[in-house]
Structure 1
Amino acid sequence: MQTPVIDLKTARNRRIPNPDQIIIAGAGIAGLTLALALSGRGFAVQIFEKSTVLAEAGAGIQLSPNATRLLGRLGVLDRLLPSSVQPDAVCLQDGVSGDQLLRLPMGAGAAERWHSPYIVCHRADLQCALLDEVQSRSNIAMQLESAVTHHRSDAQGMMVRVQYNDRIEEHRGALLIGADGVWSNMRNAVSDLERARYTGSIAWRASVLVSRLPTSFTTLLPEGTNVVAWTGSNAHLIAYPVRSGEIMNFVAVTRDRKNTRRWDVEVNPEAPSRSFATDFHRWHPGIRDLVLSAGPWTPWRLFEMKRCRFLQDDRLVLIGDAAHAMTPYAAQGAAMAIEDACSLAVTLGPRKENWPSELETYARNRTKRIEAVVRRGALNQLAYHAKGPVALARNLLLRNRSAEKFVAGFDWLYGFDAEKPGGDI
């Protein structure tokens, strides 16, 4: 599949000098969402983004109701729905036998229960929807090919130094937000717990036209349009449709056999799947056929932070992966970035002298929420990669507990409203 590319040069490249503006470093999901949330509350926003092109290879994304309800309020969800898919269910299946272990109904039931839909889409489609909405707001400016290199706070606010092409610029704002990802230049980690740590696992991503999937694999897919996860010893495979159902997105998570610390992984383009296919050689033949025939598989090493760090000082706040990079086992990375952004926007009151205390409350509440999601991800990882007696016990539990009880177990996660005190919907 061709790599989807967003050419940011089509976006407005402008500045609106304003000493009271809020400056955002990074135009990813977290940064664009925050810009929209702040714009809706009357703040002037300046985004600096070092890239001119955003490329996301094989990067599907799951957006649960706790994220889509916020996107709906921002005017983004309506832009995103035409290219997204609302799955009928989330299914968990055994990777060796192919048998279904659990089916959790979603679709209309999810929207009714949690007051917003559960959708899957391509990450590039989400970024395009966010960018389109950003360009419609007169109080948001974005400057491309601009990297925030230095910053200092004083009594008036925050001064930032920006590398723009071949010159250095200085800009003043009331607050600086680091939304620049797991390798954030804004994050000054004061301990190893606050640095991104390699987990020893790799997520291999691929996208395949539904019409080109091997028949041996399609026979494993449950009836309907679903998110499907196959579990196995030290590995799992997830599949779901994107791009209005025309493309199937795959994520295979395996151990890193080389166990290096590089972010990227060199792969033989002639046989990209061979480097990790051995992790699936005892799985169902349909899954083996899929792993060997699909491609190219794009590898991403998984990093995480053991401790959240939202506040660098009174004038610098981190959000998204810059604050709390997490593993994908709870499928909440993008949702947490969206929650961070919307929660931060409603936290900031009209009186700037109150911001330090308001931000302390924000950081405390968000840390509690992130830690709960990380715990759920760790539990999911254990369930997905179980083997031997643990896998047998897991299968027994999944087959004998009612789907309703499992669905109810997501109320705290999917029913959370990041813009309301206590998160109640």
Structure 2
Amino acid sequence: MPGATEFEQPIDIAIVGAGIVGLALSLGLNHRNFRVKIYEQSKAFGGFGGGIGFSPNAVRCMQLLHPQLVEAQRKTATSSGDPKNPNDWMVYIDGYHHNSADPNDTEEKELFRLYTGRRGFEGCVRAQFQDELINLLPPDIIEFGKRLERVVDRGDDEKLVLHFQDGDTAEADAVIGCDGIKSRVRKLILGEDHPAALPSYNHQYALRGLVPMDRAIKALGEYKARNRHIHLGPGAYVITIPVAHGAMVNVVAFVTDPQDWSPTDKLTAPANKTEAIEAFANFGPAVKGIIGAITENSKMLDKWAIFDSFENPAPTYARGRVCIAGDAAHASAPHHGAGAGCGIEDDLALASLLVNVSATLNERGKTKKAAALRAAFTAYSNTRIERTQWLVRSSRFLGEALVWRNPKTLRDFDKCSEELTWRSHKIWDFDEQAMLRDLVEEYEQQLKME
């Protein structure tokens, strides 16, 4: 696809949401000379600085979107094991069964392992990576405190008008919603009462925390603290991944929850330390030790509800000159660790299509900008929907398998390993060049229908 160019007809893009997907998209579009503005509802950046990892497909798409994205990722990433000789495996271990005669025995039996490829799935602190992206963008590109209410389409010869809760308005040729799992833009595309307008609770919550490396070593032992491990058990499991260049361990503990959680409520709720400890009371000393570490290091421990779009997937990601990307389009549970990476794929698709829109306007003078943008967003939706919604379904499957409750795998760890391996490689071995070719073909088809 064509790269950066000068446009005879400038295209103004409004991005709603300044999470990683929105920031990466804005960086890619700015690199391609589009006029971009980000509207973020929060008053400023902040919040939980948990860990995040990017799979190989995400890193390849970052390179195509803007090489500086990869530089930012490498700058903040932490290798598993020795940085000079990284351990490129994810190791799945039995965190439940243990030597009951020795309450201090932190040994855990290996069940299976997954090769991630050279420097695959390196962990970083989300806030640090986000800061790196912000530093790469023009200082005036983000407007904070802008909660979107509606988008008004005044016709093909006019720009769209964004109306915000504070009474302000803004204009743009196109609007891209990167506003997360409770996306306002998704509601505007599908309708307020559409079943897919809100996500659904998958009856799991997560306890998350960053633990200093020396404390993690005390709980897990040095090797497990410095290398990626997934500690499995019935109804719950724990991920431990080194981050912050080996200074910290990112801990994410998933717990099955029979209770309901309304999608209109906040996605976090206070969790008392007793509740957290009781969820893993029957696990081995290593797991109980690391859960103890996140509770003792947290002044306030929260549980994070896991919502996704599994029960009510969006039938489309676009309507007119408005579309959605990342969690706003296809929120998945985090068990594959691929949600943000899939959003980066969306970003590459959109940036590439918008370059084609500009080429169409430069080379085919009779084509209206609005028509070309509609064709591009429809092509994006049609091309991306199958893969992204498969990820949502597969993440649900894996979330059940890792807590030994999936009827297809239960405690058959050979089957679990087999399922994990092929599903992971379907994500990682993505052919982004084929996607780019498919997008061009679909865009041309949609343009003929305008």
TM-score range, shorter chain: 0.7 to 0.9
Pairing of 1:25-36 with structure 2 (within 5 A)? 25-36=16-27
Identify the range of structure 1 (212-221 vs 122-131) with the bigger mean alpha-carbon deviation: 212-221
Pairing of 1:52-131 with structure 2 (within 5 A)? 52-73=43-64, 74=66, 75-87=68-80, 88=87, 89-97=89-97, 98-106=108-116, 109-110=117-118, 117-131=120-134
1:320 deviation in Å? Answer: 1.4
1:171 deviation in Å? Answer: 2.1
Name the TM-score, length of structure 1 as normaliser. Answer: 0.82
Query: Of 377, 384, 388, which residue of structure 2 is paired with 1:370?
Result: 388
- What secondary structure sits across from 1:377 in the alignment? helix
Indicate yes or no: 2:355 matched with 1:345.
no
2:216, 2:429 → 1: CA distance?
A: 35
Counterpart amino acid of 2:377? L
1:30, 1:388 → 2: CA distance?
A: 31
1:19, 1:147 → 2: CA distance?
A: 26
Structure having the larger proportion of residues in strand: 1
Output one character per residue of 1:39-69: Cα deviation in whole Å (capped at 9) or x when no partner.
2222111111222322242521121011122
Over aligned residues, Cα RMSD in angstroms? Answer: 2.8
1:279, 1:91 → 2: CA distance?
A: 22
Query: Of 337, 358, 367, which residue of structure 1 is paired with 2:376?
Result: 358
1:229, 1:185 → 2: CA distance?
A: 34
1:158, 1:217 → 2: CA distance?
A: 54
| Cα contact 2:206–2:252 (8 A) shared by 1 | yes
- What secondary structure sits across from 1:37 in the alignment? helix
| Cα contact 2:346–2:384 (8 A) shared by 1 | yes
Identify the range of structure 1 (257-266 vs 336-345) with the bigger mean alpha-carbon deviation: 257-266
Partner of 2:231: 230
Output one character per residue of 1:162-202: Cα deviation in whole Å (capped at 9) or x when no partner.
355xxx33322110111111222222244213421122211
Query: Of 6, 11, 23, which residue of structure 2 is paired with 1:20?
Result: 11
1:86, 1:127 → 2: CA distance?
A: 19
2:318, 2:405 → 1: CA distance?
A: 42
Partner of 2:426: 412
2:430, 2:323 → 1: CA distance?
A: 22
Indicate yes or no: 2:164 matched with 1:157.
no
Counterpart amino acid of 1:364? N
Unaligned segments of structure 2, at least 5 residues: 1-8, 81-86, 98-107, 362-368, 439-450
Query: Of 311, 320, 327, which residue of structure 1 is paired with 2:326?
Result: 320
- What secondary structure sits across from 2:137 in the alignment? helix
Unaligned segments of structure 1, at least 5 residues: 1-17, 112-116
Counterpart amino acid of 1:366? R
Output one character per residue of 1:12-32: Cα deviation in whole Å (capped at 9) or x when no partner.
xxxxxx983111111111211
Partner of 2:83: none
Partner of 2:446: none
- What secondary structure sits across from 1:55 in the alignment? coil
Aligned pair count reads 385
Counterpart amino acid of 1:416? F
| Cα contact 2:79–2:123 (8 A) shared by 1 | yes
1:398–1:199: structure 2 CA closer, same or farther, 3 Å change rule? closer
Partner of 2:244: 243
Identify the range of structure 1 (280-289 vs 244-253) with the bigger mean alpha-carbon deviation: 280-289
Partner of 1:12: none
Percent identity over paired residues: 24
| Cα contact 1:320–1:340 (8 A) shared by 2 | yes
Output one character per residue of 1:44-96: Cα deviation in whole Å (capped at 9) or x when no partner.
11111222322242521121011122323411221232321133221111121
1:144, 1:226 → 2: CA distance?
A: 38
Partner of 1:198: 201
1:423 deviation in Å? Answer: 8.1
Partner of 2:215: 212
Output one character per residue of 1:389-415: Cα deviation in whole Å (capped at 9) or x when no partner.
97665224468x7xxx97576443112
Output one character per residue of 1:298-343: Cα deviation in whole Å (capped at 9) or x when no partner.
3111111131355342111111111122111111111122111111
1:60, 1:25 → 2: CA distance?
A: 23
2:409, 2:425 → 1: CA distance?
A: 26
